[in-house]
Amino acid sequence: MKLRFVLPLVAFFALVGLLWVGLSLDPRALPSPLIGREAPQFDLPELRDPETRFSSEQMLGTPALLNVWASWCVTCRQEHPMLAELRRAGVPVYGLNYKDTRSDALRFLTQFGDPYDAIGFDESGLVGIDWGVYATPETFLMDRNGMIRFKHIGMITPDVIQNEILPLYRKLEAES
């Protein structure tokens, strides 16, 4: 007879647990299928110097960040100082300027500063599709062999830098 009371109680708590987990997940955080795989290759015109090219191969050799941004993206504006911070910490920061116009993007850099080692100008957004970009800003961390090891969607915060990007970057740096 005890079962009669215990069973509904167990069912109730199971449901509460399930909803608790389900509702605390962030539906916008899509796990990237690219993590642990080789970064998609690209060869784009450099944003600041259209005569030169910026290809994915240039990021090989050391661990590096690729930050996808655009001048129309409000969050990118807020995130921008964080990239300079990472640059100061010694992390190579590359940019992928996504679906932007050259003049807007250049104005953005004059206004907010330019922490990038090189910026690919992805006007059509095709390279963005290859990288599975769906909402700017998105930031990828690659190891020296060009393998994607980490992806952050949305704004990089000081917290993300301290707890996620820098520790992983140091670890990748130490890897031979």
Partner 1 sequence: MTARHWIPALLCLGALALATPTHLAAGPTAPPSEPLVFETPEQEARYQKLVRELRCTVCQNQNLIESNAPLASDLRRQISLMVKDGAETGEVVDYMVARYGDFVLFRPPVNRTTYLLWYGPVILLVLGLSVLGLVLWRRKSRVTSAPLSADEEERLRRLLDEDRGGQA
Helix ranges, the chain (H): 3-24, 74-88, 102-112, 126-130, 158-160, 166-174
Considering only CA atoms, which of 141, 143, 168, 139 is closest in space to residue 153? Answer: 139
Which among 42-50, 80-88, 123-131, 167-175 is the span making contact with partner 1, rule CB under 8 A?
Answer: 123-131
Which lies closer to partner 1 via its Cβ, residue 45 or residue 125?
Answer: 125
Structure-block tokens of residue 135: 């909402």
Contacts of partner 1 in 63-92 (CB under 8 A): 70, 72-75
Report the residue from 132, 144, 147, 157 that binds partner 1 according to the rule CB under 8 A: 132
Report the residue from 17, 129, 162, 167 that binds partner 1 according to the rule CB under 8 A: 129
Give the contact letters, 6-45, x = binds to partner 1 (CB under 8 A), - = no: ---------------------xx-xxxxx-----------
How far apart, in whole angstroms, are the C-alpha atoms of residue 145 and residue 157? 26
Report the residue from 60, 62, 81, 130 that binds partner 1 according to the rule CB under 8 A: 130
Which lies closer to partner 1 via its Cβ, residue 91 or residue 105?
Answer: 105
Considering only CA atoms, which of 75, 56, 37, 59 is closest in space to residue 160? Answer: 75
Give the sign of the dihedral formed by CA 79, CA 81, CA 38, CA 106.
positive
- By residue count, the chain amounts to 176
How far apart, in whole angstroms, are the C-alpha atoms of residue 101 and residue 83? 21
Which lies closer to partner 1 via its Cβ, residue 16 or residue 30?
Answer: 30
Strand partners, 118: 94
Which among 82-90, 118-126, 156-164, 165-173 is the span making contact with partner 1, rule CB under 8 A?
Answer: 118-126
Which lies closer to partner 1 via its Cβ, residue 64 or residue 73?
Answer: 73
By CB under 8 A, name the binding residues for partner 1: 27-28, 30-34, 70, 72-75, 99-100, 124-126, 128-136
